[in-house]
Amino acid sequence: MIIDLCCGIGRFPGEGVISIDIQRKVKPTIIADIHHLPLRPKLRPKLCHASPPCKYFTLARARRYGYDEKGIADSLRLVAACFDAFDYLEARTWTLENPLGVLKRILPTDIKTNYAAYDYKHKPTNFWSNNRALKRAVIPQDLRQKILSVCE
């Protein structure tokens, strides 16, 4: 089982994926706020992935509009809720991705990769994981397939 938190429109494909998002329009499996997951504790999914909203974390927004302290604070609460969910669910492997920006200043990472996203052809992205192999990997464009193969 794979649990995809803050799935948005770029969620994991395939069978056995439970996508969770608060926005009905992205058609998640479960419409819920990740602060209050409607899942039982210690579910122990193979993978729990999170892509928290990046609106206030991206460098592009900061360059254009400056930093929005309230927006960053709200976004950091979502990131904290993702880490709480990883712990609550006791995921064997967890991953978190977010565009290059503010979040790297708070959660240091050596992994920076570019991958094709629905909105940008090559989006500089930071990546975090509790899996040592994934921490050292240079994640190629088929990011999701690499994650899944390491988790098996």
Chain mean pLDDT for the chain: 78
Q: Over range 32-46, report the average pLDDT.
A: 90
DSSP one-letter code for 13: P
Regarding beta strands 17-21 and 112-115, do their DSSP bridges make them parallel or antiparallel, or are they unpaired? unpaired
For residue 17, the SS3 value is strand
Residue 86: pLDDT band (50, 70, 90) is very high
CATH number at residue 45: 3.40.50.150
**Residue 36: C-alpha distances to residues 91, 121, 149 (Å):** 17, 34, 30
Q: Over range 98-106, report the average pLDDT.
A: 78
Continuous H helices in the chain: 59-65, 69-89, 103-106, 132-136, 143-151
Residue 82: pLDDT band (50, 70, 90) is very high
Residue 28 or residue 63, greater confidence: 28
Domain with 113 in it: 2-151
pLDDT tens column, 13-38: 777 889 999 999 988 999 999 899 88
pLDDT tens column, 121-143: 566 777 788 876 665 544 444 55
Q: How many domains does the chain have?
A: 1
Share of the chain above pLDDT 90, in %: 20
